Amino acid sequence: MEKEQEYIKLLKILIDIAEANKGINAGADERNLDAEGLLTKFFYHAASILYLSKSTTLKDILNIPISFFDPASINILARSAIETFLVFNYVFIEPKSEKEEDFRYLSWTLAGLLERQKYSIQSPKGKEQLKAERVIIQSLHTTIINNDFFKKLTQKQQNNLLKKGIWRPSWKDIGLSAGLNELHAAQFYSFLSDYAHSGSLSIRQLHQADNAISQKTLFAPSLGILMIAMANMIKSYCVRFPKANIALIGDEESAAIVDKWIYVGSASIQDVDIDWGRVNL
């Protein structure tokens, strides 16, 4: 129960730092809005996971007395939340210079626009949007090509970025560079990805979990990794936005919980006394 309260506390801290940052200028290219959008996306995932961890009941919806735990949805949301933090950290925190941030932010933006160009759009409005975005893509190409960090890439990497929108290293590499240990950056992420891609192991685990206790063990580690991700997201957001950081450091209890879970995520698993198989951790 203590750790569940810390999960809820971390959710509240996410709200507090977002509220503290209200009114900040979006910037010429709206990157601050995109940074805030990532925090919002992350919060929605984390809050939904807490809600699902209480079980899903269909009685009020279908008038059928069915209640169950949904480990698959929780694990898939956990994976998406972790990726959201990693994108935020990789694009907005890790860059050591303005040019490096420009390169990563514009590459991330380009990748999204290139992906939408693949869509089979039929409506006139949708076609107009794709046409307008092709102009933006050309402008992004020009800006990115002239960036010093683009010039450091190999020819293959340059082509992959401009033509295919391959803009980042592996999630494992980004996780390690964000300060997560090997277990959280690779093994836990691989476990969560198996659920997202309907791997055979995830299906076996679901049908073998035939009672509430065993179902909870399938998502208990996800609640722990989400607390690590929440703490790191809070810290990264506060690095990006000073007003949010002032709000965090002004609350010693909140700052201590954030630091605690950042340590849990970075330390060796042998150095942390946590039972990852229990919902209450």
- 80: number of CA atoms within 13 Å, CB side? 21
Can you give the pLDDT at residue 117? 93
Tell me the pTM.
Answer: 0.92
CA-CA distance, 94 to 163, in Å (whole number)?
Answer: 25
Please, what is the average pLDDT of the chain? 91
| Over residues 235-241, mean pLDDT | 96
Domain boundaries, the chain: 1-94+178-281, 95-170
Can you give the pLDDT at residue 67? 87
Whether the predicted pLDDT of 281 surpasses 70: no
Can you give the pLDDT at residue 168? 96
Can you give the pLDDT at residue 189? 86
pLDDT band with cut points at 50, 70 and 90 for residue 1: very low
Whether the predicted pLDDT of 276 surpasses 80: no
Query: For the segment 128-177, what is each residue's pLDDT rounded down to a tens digit?
Result: 999 999 999 999 999 999 999 999 999 999 999 999 999 999 999 999 99
